[in-house]
Structure 1
Amino acid sequence: MRAALMYQAGDVRIENVPDSRIKHPTDALVRITASCICGSDLHPYHRMTTDDGPARMGHELIGIVEETGAAVTTLKKGDLVVSPFAISDNVCEFCRENLQTSCTHAHAAFWDGIEDEGGQAEAVRVPLADGTLVKLPVAPDSELIPSLLTLADVFGTGYHAAKTAGIIPGQKVTVIGDGAVGLMAVLSAKRLGAEQIVLMGRHKARTDLGREFGATDVVAERGEEGIARVRELTGGHGTHAVLEAVGHMPAYEQAVGVVRPGGVISRVGVPQFEEAPVGFASLFGRNIRLAGGPAPVRAYIEELMPDILEGTINPGKVFDATTDLDGVPAGYQDMDERPSLKVLVRP
């Protein structure tokens, strides 16, 4: 079968690899019908060394179950399923607390920790299939597939930012980052009833989509100028919640600058730094809370799916380009250079 492999920074190739197969009784073999390139895939695309490659890529997928291990009880051949980016049994102590990213029985919680598997491929072996996979009540060619695919990561991640921020109706919210996760955070803040949503982003096509998703204001400025603009828009105090969807230190510094006293900063952008100010002058002195983390998207799929099925929301609009497997290397380049927001892959 064919799959995407990253050899080093900027070097993604489509190659023939050994067919995925059942290895454990709890596995399922899934033929992939839709996947995508994630903004977090661009981190290794920028800095991976040859020592770390080649690595299979992709952690968001929809597909058809082709085979199940002997211990799998909730799935059968022919089921259309969506897979979150984290593997979980969905029954352990942490999973029951809706923290599937810390599942005690997932030896490799994330797809990039599973040897010789990845979502940008023709097929994949899914460990702990009963807990990880969720059946979809649509056909593989449904027009809802792009939106349902966002449940694998990007929508659930944006929702996690809003959820852990504790957004309630009437609040003011700032979203930092106009990538796909940031736009999903806008959609999620709107869904939870935020009254004012300030989107900090500089790319008009993306911020226009952010307005469609619910942003009331757009701030293109960065740094101190951007902070001052957000405070001007929010009566001088800043916002109750800041959803940081970038992961770089300047974004965190903007978050500290625009959050109001007693507010919360919720971070879901994969952090590219370890040290961040949390002391008296930054968070402690203003009673600001810090939340977020890798989203347990499995916990949100059943909650968010009905709105997609009913047509209430259309998160699939974040996909502005579609390609097949052969086009994946160019898709990485387009997302890196910004012509594309998020690339849908149809193997």
Structure 2
Amino acid sequence: MRAAVYHGPEDIRIESVPDPELSSSSGAIVRVTHTAVCGSDLWFYRGQSDRDVPSRVGHEPMGIVEAVGDDVRSVEPGDRVFAPFVVSCGYCEFCRKGLHTSCVNGDSWGGENGGAQGELIHCPEADGTLVRVPDRHADDEDTLRALLPLTDVMGTGHHAALNAGVEAGSTCAVVGDGAVGLCGVLAARRLGAERIIAMGHHEDRLEIAEQFGATDLVTERGEEAIEHVTEMTNGGVNHVLEAVGATSSMETAVGIARPGGTVGYVGVPHGMGDGLDLSPFFGDNVALRGGVAPVRAYAEELMADVLQGTLDPSPVFTKTVDLDGVPEGYRAMHERDAVKVLVEV
């Protein structure tokens, strides 16, 4: 098969690699039809995080089941499925709690599983991981584009909103205008927030934020941003979604939080080696909740809204490429020429 392979910073190549094999009775082979490039992929692409060289990449797969193990019950060959960014068994202690990202039988999409930016993947825990798309929607391209963000960014934005405590009638702020932050805006609107402040620095992305339901836009940085939000809300907001993962974004998040408020954080921690001062959290009793999003726990709920036409995160895809175009997709996101890249395999 052909797949995207990482060979070092800014070096993604499409190569022939061995097909993954059906190696367990609980597993499935899926032929990938759609996948994406994620903002978190840019950390290794830019050389800002370690990754094995060479290694297969990608973690947002959607496709058609080709084969299943003898013990698989939830899907069968020919089914359209999508999968979260991690593999989970569905039955361990943590999966039963809805914390699939801590699954004791969990796995990633790299290595022998195939890498999701390629033609085939092996899912070793099909029943606990794969989400079946109903047949009547299985070939509707518009619906599939709307479902693909459920593999990661839409579920992650939803996780931020839930952990921030967003509810009907509330006022919240979203720090970050990447795909996760934009989906956080959409999630907050879905949960009934009355006022949603989107904070970012890119006009095209903030236009999507408005489309997704943002009522206010803040483009300043640092202390100026904090002062602006604090003034416009008469003291800060109770619910903050942090979708970047840097020290500066977390400082902004706690700076705009009202005393007693909550920061729901889902930004992959990066650049916090210089230390995060917890004094503002302590002094104002600001809660910090969140972490890596167990998107499998939210998949069916969010899919139901997509299928009934009340949820559509697909506008985060601002560029589409084929498999050969994956290296260009990375470049476009690296240079901020695209919010998120859809890959049609």
Q: CA deviation at 1:233?
A: 1.4
Deviations 1:277-328 (A, max 9, x none): 223xx11121110011010000001111111111112111111111101000
Q: Note the aligned Cα RMSD (angstroms).
A: 1.4
Counterpart code for 1:140: D
1:50: how far off?
8.8
8 A Cα contact 1:9 1:49, kept in partner? no
Aligned partners of 1:154, 1:4: CA distance in 2, in Å? 21
TM-score computed with the length of structure 2 as normaliser: 0.96
Displacement, 1:130? 0.7
Match of 1:325 in 2: 323
Cα displacement (A) at 1:63 = 0.5
Q: 2:242 aligns with which of 241, 244, 247?
A: 244
Q: CA deviation at 1:220?
A: 0.5
Distance 2:170 2:50 in 1: 47
Cα deviation, 1:142-176, whole Å, max 9, x if unaligned, reads 32111100110010000000011121122211101
1:304 to 2:296 alignment: no
Instruction: Report whether the alignment pairs 1:8 with 2:8.
Output: yes
Please report how far the alpha carbon of residue 234 of structure 1 lies from its aligned counterpart in structure 2 after TM superposition: 0.7
1:51 deviates by 7.2
The DSSP-based 3-state class of the residue aligned with 1:231 is helix
- Whole-angstrom CA distance in 1 between matches of 2:27 and 2:121: 10
1:36 counterpart SS class: strand
**What SS is found at the alignment partner of 2:259?**
strand
Cross-structure match for 1:27: 27
Contact 1:164 1:291 in 2 (8 A): yes
Which stretches in structure 2 are left out of the alignment for 5+ residues? Answer: none
Q: Name the counterpart of 2:53.
A: 53
Number of residue-to-residue matches in the alignment: 341
Structure 1 residue aligned with 2:122: 125
Alpha-carbon distance in structure 2 between the residues aligned to 1:50 and 1:297: 24
* Distance in 2 of aligned mates of 1:184 and 1:116: 28
Q: How does 1:1-347 map to 2 (within 5 A)?
A: 1-47=1-47, 52-106=52-106, 108=107, 110-112=108-110, 114-115=111-112, 117-137=114-134, 138-235=137-234, 237-272=235-270, 273=272, 275-279=275-279, 282-347=280-345
Counterpart contact for 1:58–1:118, Cα < 8 Å: yes
For the Cα contact (< 8 Å) 1:161–1:267, is it kept in 2? yes
Tell me the TM-score normalised to structure 1 length: 0.95
Following TM superposition, by how much is the alpha carbon of 1:200 offset from its aligned partner in structure 2, in angstroms?
Answer: 0.6
Q: Indicate how the Cα distance of structure 1 residues 23 and 148 shifts in structure 2: closer, same or farther if over 3 A, else same.
A: same
Q: Distance in 2 between matches of 1:39 and 1:313?
A: 22
The answer to whether the Cα contact below 8 Å between 1:165 and 1:264 also exists between their aligned partners in 2 is yes
Asked if the contact 1:56/1:116 (under 8 Å) is kept, the reply is no
Shift of 1:238: 0.7
Alpha-carbon shift at residue 116 of structure 1 (Å)? 5.2
2: CA distance between counterparts of 1:266 and 1:139?
Answer: 33
**Cα pair distance change 1:48/1:289, threshold 3 Å:** closer
Instruction: Give, in angstroms, the shift of residue 48 of structure 1.
Output: 6.1
Stretch moving more, 269-278 or 79-88: 269-278
Q: After TM superposition, give the deviation of residue 111 of structure 1 in Å.
A: 2.6
SS of alignment partner, residue 189 of structure 1: helix
Show CA shifts across 1:2-47 (max 9, x none): 0001111111000000112111111100000100000000010111
